Amino acid sequence: MTLQRINVRNERAQAMAELALVLPALCLSLLAILQCGILFKNCVTPPDAGRAGSRKAAVSRHQPCPECVTENAVDQSAGGLDKEYLQVEVTSAPWAPGTDVTVKASYPYEINLLGLVVKSGEMTSTTTERVE
């Protein structure tokens, strides 16, 4: 019985070829997962910031500028977002008890994979609270 040696070099070359074929798809998948995480964060933050702002607006009718206080509350609650692109709109009839105050927070988004914009738009959240 004769023993034959296995040529290890051929197996290394095969592994390198398989890695070269799979690596671009793997990198693209990882970038897509990263973009989805960023999009999810940007999707969750404006509604939370709008909610915090509307709650602040509901209890700040005695402030000299309730709109300013509300916008500051939204800005502070939107921690990870770029404040330059965050748009806040406060709508209220007279700031009297029992009237409604509406806070609308908008933030643009885009899904970008390797420089190619797949989808873009604006996320908007509208919250209404009763002035106390």
- The rounded Cα 11 to chain-centroid distance in angstroms is 45
CA distances from 45 to 42, 54, 130 (A): 5, 14, 22
Q: Position 32: which residue type?
A: A
What pLDDT sits at residue 118?
84
- What is the model's pLDDT at position 126? 93
Check whether 49 has a pLDDT greater than 80.
Answer: yes
35 close to 117: Cβ distance less than 8 angstroms: no
The pLDDT assigned to 5 comes to: 64
pLDDT digits (tens, 9 = 90+) for 3-43: 666 665 566 778 888 899 999 999 989 988 988 888 888 88
Whose CA is closest to 44, among 52, 55, 33, 32?
52
pTM here is 0.72
CB atoms within 10 A of CB 103: 29
